[in-house]
């Protein structure tokens, strides 16, 4: 099968073509980031994002088809992120995909953005080229989500834990903003942390040592603010920034490793032959955190996989792949599909204590 995928749920306008014929392959992958539009505001402004998607989408889709060297008749379906995300942007991608599907008489697939992150490793496989079969344990860490899920098959996810307040990517972005670093904060914190002393600042490890595998990051973020306020007045020194970034990243890694250790135990109890531990979503691009989690997975003997760094942050290939997986199972969506601002992967999961809408 050959599928076009469109992603517009946040601040990337992206389109890609993937195939599962004669080996899984990405035939094209075009990502236009709106960073410059949002940077002055230190975060994504939904209305600016939606307008930027409208302006870019036709050109990005055309480029993805041209890069793939394909004609519309070569496609087996068209997928777009149908949610969750910023609704104005999701509508742009969904309307574009529906129009193309209607005009070309192709099936349309509305993809859950979280499912797209969750299934990306099945497109890319392990580092040594092995395929990833179900079930596996997924740590999904992005700007909007921080969850641990048992991925049992396409469309079936059991949530083992989630954040009761902020997502980890959000904590990275907000901490970076407080330090005067650019948006998005994750990559910049990772870069600055390389030169820092991770033991200089004593930051909390929220939830560490507790039963279960829920997360909390708002206390860590608050402590970053208090630490900054306690520094001598005047401009922030590069050394202070590097040490705070390193201390923050270390604390985040300690929390992730502690929560994932519990999740591995819970997962293995239910799926004795399952695995590996997979980490996906934008924060999975962080090599220090990946290394931490890989070491844990080796110690727990469960195996480890993560998408290539470029496919951790939002892209069209993951959407095309999730669409392809659903089409292969004979599934697609009607053209009256309504974009969904919220779309949990495990609708049956109990609401986490104290959690807001993100859980
Ligand atoms: O998956 P994604 O592109 O969008 C969402 O679905 O949210 O994730 C974006 C998030 C941002 O919060 C960004 O700061 C974070 O991923 N991120 C990182 C890194 N690269 C991106 N966080 C930590 N380290 C990185 N290298
Ligand atoms: Zn994402």
pLDDT tens digits for range 213-269: 999 999 999 999 999 999 999 999 999 999 999 999 999 999 999 999 999 999 999
What span, in angstroms and rounded, lies between the C-alpha atoms of 155 and 347?
A: 11
* Coil, strand or helix at 182: coil
**C-alpha of residue 203 to centroid of ligand 1, in Å:** 21
pLDDT at residue 358 is higher than 50: no
Average pLDDT value for residue range 346-351: 89
Say whether both 198 and 113 belong to one domain: no
> Quick one: which of 97, 218, 116 has its CA closest to 164?
218
Residue nearest to atom 10 of ligand 1 (CA): 143
Say whether both 154 and 257 belong to one domain: yes
Q: Which ligand is nearest to the CA of 252?
A: 1
**C-alpha of residue 186 to centroid of ligand 1, in Å:** 6
Does any ligand 1 atom lie closer than 6 A to the CB of residue 184?
yes
Q: Which ligand is nearest to the CA of 182?
A: 1
CA distance to 40, 258, 349, 356, per residue, from 353 (Å) = 35, 19, 12, 9
For a substitution probing ligand 1, which of 38, 184, 345 has the most ligand atoms within 8 Å of its CB?
184
Of the residues 285, 307, 329, which one is the last residue of a structural domain? 307
Give the number of the atom of ligand 1 that is nearest the alpha carbon of residue 168.
12
In this structure, which residues have their CB less than 5 angstroms from ion ligand 2?
142, 314
Residue nearest to atom 14 of ligand 1 (CA): 186
- Angle made by CA atoms 218, 221, 225, in degrees to the nearest 5: 135
Least trusted range by pLDDT, from 114-123, 179-188, 294-303: 179-188
Does any ligand 1 atom lie closer than 6 A to the CB of residue 83?
no
Say whether both 140 and 270 belong to one domain: yes
Give the number of the atom of ligand 1 that is nearest the alpha carbon of residue 313.
3
Say whether both 220 and 77 belong to one domain: no
pLDDT at 359: 46
User: Is residue 251 assigned to a domain?
Assistant: yes
In which band, very low, low, confident or very high, does the pLDDT at 354 lie, cut at 50, 70 and 90?
low
Say whether both 174 and 223 belong to one domain: yes
Tens of pLDDT, residues 95-138:
999 999 999 999 999 999 999 999 999 999 998 889 999 999 99
Say whether both 11 and 53 belong to one domain: yes
Tens of pLDDT, residues 68-78:
999 999 999 99
Say whether both 56 and 104 belong to one domain: yes
For a substitution probing ligand 1, which of 313, 319, 345, 358 has the most ligand atoms within 8 Å of its CB?
313
Domain interval for residue 276 = 133-307
What span, in angstroms and rounded, lies between the C-alpha atoms of 30 and 42?
A: 24
pLDDT at residue 353 is higher than 70: no
> Quick one: which of 279, 272, 271, 273 has its CA closest to 297?
279
User: Is residue 127 assigned to a domain?
Assistant: no
User: Is residue 66 assigned to a domain?
Assistant: yes
Tell me phi and psi for residue 12, to 5 degrees. Answer: -120, 130
User: Is residue 125 assigned to a domain?
Assistant: no
Does any ligand 1 atom lie closer than 6 A to the CB of residue 109?
no
User: Is residue 247 assigned to a domain?
Assistant: yes
Listed in sequence order, the DSSP H helices in the chain are 35-38, 46-68, 87-104, 113-124, 168-178, 185-193, 218-230, 238-270, 287-300, 316-328
pLDDT at 355: 60
Say whether both 302 and 318 belong to one domain: no
pLDDT at 41: 85
pLDDT at 95: 98
Give the number of the atom of ligand 1 that is nearest the alpha carbon of residue 176.
14
Say whether both 153 and 302 belong to one domain: yes
User: Is residue 128 assigned to a domain?
Assistant: no
Does any ligand 1 atom lie closer than 6 A to the CB of residue 84?
no
pTM: 0.95
Q: Do the Cβ atoms of 149 and 157 come closer than 8 Å?
A: yes
Strand partners, 138: 149, 278
pLDDT at 20: 97
Higher pLDDT, 90 or 43: 90
Tens of pLDDT, residues 156-166:
999 999 999 99
Give the number of the atom of ligand 1 that is nearest the alpha carbon of residue 12.
3
Say whether both 35 and 55 belong to one domain: yes
Domain count, the chain: 2
Say whether both 273 and 247 belong to one domain: yes
Residue nearest to atom 23 of ligand 1 (CA): 186
pLDDT at residue 8 is higher than 50: yes
What span, in angstroms and rounded, lies between the C-alpha atoms of 338 and 325?
A: 21
pLDDT at residue 327 is higher than 50: yes
**C-alpha of residue 142 to centroid of ligand 1, in Å:** 5
Does any ligand 1 atom lie closer than 6 A to the CB of residue 281?
yes
Does any ligand 1 atom lie closer than 6 A to the CB of residue 89?
no
Tens of pLDDT, residues 43-63:
889 999 999 999 999 999 999
Mean pLDDT across the chain: 95
What DSSP designation does 163 have? Answer: B
Say whether both 188 and 288 belong to one domain: yes
What span, in angstroms and rounded, lies between the C-alpha atoms of 13 and 57?
A: 6
User: Is residue 336 assigned to a domain?
Assistant: yes
> Quick one: which of 47, 132, 59 has its CA closest to 91?
47
Give the number of the atom of ligand 1 that is nearest the alpha carbon of residue 312.
1
> Quick one: which of 19, 13, 7 has its CA closest to 324?
19
User: Is residue 126 assigned to a domain?
Assistant: no
**C-alpha of residue 118 to centroid of ligand 2, in Å:** 10
| CATH number of the domain encompassing residue 218 | 3.30.420.40
């Amino acid at each position: 099968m050959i599928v076009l995928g469109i992603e517009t749920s946040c601040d990337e306008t992206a389109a890609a073509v993937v195939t599962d014929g004669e080996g899984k392959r990405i035939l094209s992958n075009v990502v236009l980031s709106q960073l410059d539009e949002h940077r002055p505001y230190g975060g994504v402004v939904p209305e600016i994002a939606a307008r930027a998607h409208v302006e870019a989408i036709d050109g990005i889709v055309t480029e993805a088809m041209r890069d793939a060297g394909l004609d519309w008749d070569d496609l087996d379906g068209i997928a777009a992120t149908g949610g969750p995300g910023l609704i104005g942007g999701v509508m742009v991608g969904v309307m574009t995909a529906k129009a193309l599907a209607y005009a070309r008489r192709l099936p349309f697939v509305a993809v859950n953005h979280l499912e797209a992150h969750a299934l990306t490793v099945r497109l890319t496989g392990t580092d040594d080229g092995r395929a990833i079969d179900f079930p596996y344990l997924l740590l999904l860490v992005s700007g909007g989500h921080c969850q641990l899920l048992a991925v049992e098959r396409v469309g079936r996810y059991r949530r083992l834990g989630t954040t009761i307040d902020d997502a980890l990517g959000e904590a990275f972005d907000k901490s970076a903003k407080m330090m005067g670093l650019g948006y998005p904060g994750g990559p910049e914190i990772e870069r600055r942390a390389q030169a820092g002393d991770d033991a200089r600042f004593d930051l909390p490890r929220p939830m560490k040592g507790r039963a279960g595998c829920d997360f909390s990051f708002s206390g860590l973020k608050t402590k970053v603010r208090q630490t900054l306020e306690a520094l001598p007045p005047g401009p922030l020194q590069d050394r202070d920034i590097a040490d705070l970034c390193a201390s923050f990243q270390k604390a985040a890694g300690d929390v992730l490793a502690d929560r994932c250790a519990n999740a591995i135990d819970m997962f293995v109890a239910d799926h004795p032959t399952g695995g590996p531990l997979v980490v996906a979503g934008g924060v999975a691009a962080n090599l220090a955190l990946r290394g931490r989690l890989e070491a844990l997975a080796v110690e727990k003997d469960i195996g480890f996989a993560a998408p290539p760094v470029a496919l951790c942050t939002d892209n069209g290939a993951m959407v095309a792949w999730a669409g392809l997986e659903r089409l292969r199972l004979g599934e697609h969506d009607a053209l009256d599909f309504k974009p969904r601002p919220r779309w949990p992967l495990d609708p049956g999961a109990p609401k986490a204590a104290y959690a807001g809408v993100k859980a």
